[in-house]
Amino acid sequence: MSEKVDNDRDLSRFRPVVTESDNVKATRFLGLCKSCGQCVEKCPVDAISWDEEELGMLGEPAITIDMDKCIGCEMCEQICPDSAIEILNRRTEAAMNQEESTEEK
Ligand code: SF4
Ligand code: SF4
């Protein structure tokens, strides 16, 4: 698992932090997180918890994701009202690309 600030895009004011496992890349935009807790509540594998070191936009703890637990279901991305999480599931992505290339033939 690795953790680094994503400088590829000019989104630095949203404080993006990237964590990765073999199959999932999760970007948390700490500057957008309002600490509402919806993602913490809905994650099916309890992979999301409160970050004890990073604060969100309202000065409350932001969230952190345990990439050893995360299955890349994208529920948190879909439920977050502030677009503070972006999930890339490489397995889903690869399956979709495979499907598209089969359809093109
Ligand atoms: S992608 Fe799914 S498993 Fe991973 S943190 Fe979000 S809700 Fe939890
Ligand atoms: S749902 Fe979004 S705003 Fe709410 S705690 Fe999770 S990341 Fe933060």
> What's residue 6's pLDDT?
56
Of the candidates 52, 55, 84, 49, which has an alpha carbon nearest to the alpha carbon of residue 70? 49
Question: With a 6 A CB cut-off, is 33 part of the ligand 2 pocket?
Answer: yes
Percent of the chain's residues with pLDDT above 70 = 90
Contacting residues for 101 by C-beta, under 8 A, at least 6 apart: none
Closest residue by CA, ligand 2 atom 1: 80
d(CA 66, CA 9): 24
**Between 1 and 80, whose confidence is greater?**
80
pLDDT tens, residue by residue, 42-65: 999 999 999 989 999 999 999 999
Range of the domain at 9: 2-104
Pocket test for ligand 1, best of 18, 23, 29, 43 (most atoms within 8 A of CB): 43
> What's residue 65's pLDDT?
98
Q: What is the pTM of this model?
A: 0.86
How many structural domains comprise the chain? Answer: 1
Question: With a 6 A CB cut-off, is 87 part of the ligand 1 pocket?
Answer: yes
CATH number at residue 40: 3.30.70.20
